[in-house]
């Protein structure tokens, strides 16, 4: 049996979930999206995700046709219809149907798409062993281009980095901004641990304002860790005692090698493991 997909204002069978070839989400990557986890049948940090979605839409002048309360109900209904207990939601807002020109104002109504399914970004063993990463030569979007804080459907900047990681035989790539500071990975936020302090690049360095990132920072501070946001260089990552990534799909995963350099002891460290434990305790509570 196929999935039930929320399309515009109702659930439809997976085979009937279709949009026009003239939708500007397809033609130009014009739209915004969120990836959201479901733990124990509950939508994780739902309001934070929706706040970010509606802010992204505001920046690109995209009017979402329903309000946050109605969107919350649509998400919950889609999760129930697909009997998702542990899973993932992809919420997509496209600009809608227009003509072959760029003008977004010729698209009278945005499309709302909600998919709820299972996900496994990395094999289970990698969470125990850690992953390897490389530096990406692709520069993160300039802040005067499409703001990196907008979670838009145009993900080519990140896809370039992912391609570079896969061609390099590793799982992820670290992206840098136009000033040479660490921004984020292709799909995750970056953290390091040095001398007991946890560091992460500020959002202004070119990263998405990650929901999982913010939860992990709060949990770390409550557990007594010193967490500092500051610009990080490639050198800082090479000499870190620990390094880990956070994201909706990745959750919390340790990095054990970067550009051929072993990070710390070459396995996920005690801080990484503690934060992973705290995160799942919080997510499934």
- State the catalytic residues: 151
Alpha helices in 82-222 (DSSP H): 124-129, 156-167, 211-222
For 67-83, give the secondary structure using H, E and C: CHHHHHHHHHHHHHHCC
Q: Among all chains, which residue has been given the structure tokens 């600009």?
A: 95
Report helix, strand or coil for 124: helix
Task: Specify the 3-state DSSP secondary structure of 15.
Answer: helix
| DSSP 8-state class, residue 14 | G
Q: Could you tell me the end-to-end alpha-carbon distance of the chain, in angstroms, rounded to an integer?
A: 31
Residue 85 Cα to chain centre, angstroms: 20
> Closest Cα partner for 152 from 57, 11, 66, 18?
57
Angle between helices 68-81 and 46-59 (to 10 degrees): 130
Q: At what angle do helices 211-222 and 270-283 cross, to 10 degrees?
A: 110
**Burial per residue of 60-84, b for 16 or more beta-carbon CB atoms within 10 angstroms, e otherwise:** bebebeeeeeebbebbebbbeebeb
Q: Which two tokens stand for residue 277?
A: 């434990």
What is the DSSP secondary structure assignment for residue 198, as one 8-state letter?
E
Q: According to the 3-state scheme, what is the secondary structure of 213-270? A: HHHHHHHHHHCCCEEEECCCCHHHHHCCCEEEEEECCCEEEEEEEECCEECCCCCCCH
């Amino acid at each position: 049996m196929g999935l039930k997909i929320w399309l515009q204002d109702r659930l439809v069978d997976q085979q009937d979930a279709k949009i026009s070839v003239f939708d500007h989400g397809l033609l130009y990557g014009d739209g915004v999206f969120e990836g959201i986890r479901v733990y124990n049948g509950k939508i994780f940090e739902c309001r934070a995700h929706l706040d970010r979605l509606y802010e992204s839409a505001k920046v690109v002048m995209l009017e979402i046709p329903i309000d946050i309360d109605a969107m919350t109900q649509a998400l919950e209904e889609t999760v129930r219809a697909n009997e998702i207990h542990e899973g993932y939601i992809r919420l997509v807002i496209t600009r809608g149907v227009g003509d072959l020109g760029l003008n977004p104002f010729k698209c009278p109504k945005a499309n709302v798409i909600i998919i709820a399914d299972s996900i496994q970004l990395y094999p289970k063993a990698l969470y125990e062993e850690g992953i390897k990463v490389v530096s990406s030569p692709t520069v993160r979007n300039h802040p005067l281009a499409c703001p990196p804080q907008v979670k838009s459907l145009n993900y080519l900047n990140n896809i370039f980095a992912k391609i570079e990681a896969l061609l390099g035989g590793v799982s992820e790539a670290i992206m840098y901004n136009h000033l040479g500071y660490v921004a984020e990975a292709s799909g995750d936020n970056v953290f390091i641990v040095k001398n007991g302090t946890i560091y992460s690049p500020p959002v202004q360095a070119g990263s998405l304002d990650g929901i999982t990132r913010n939860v992990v920072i709060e949990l770390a501070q409550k557990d007594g860790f010193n967490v500092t946001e500051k610009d990080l260089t490639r050198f800082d990552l090479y000499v870190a005692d620990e390094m880990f990534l956070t994201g909706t799909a990745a959750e919390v995963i340790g990095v054990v090698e970067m550009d051929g350099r072993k990070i710390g002891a070459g396995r996920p460290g005690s801080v990484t493991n503690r934060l992973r434990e705290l995160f799942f305790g919080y997510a499934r509570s």
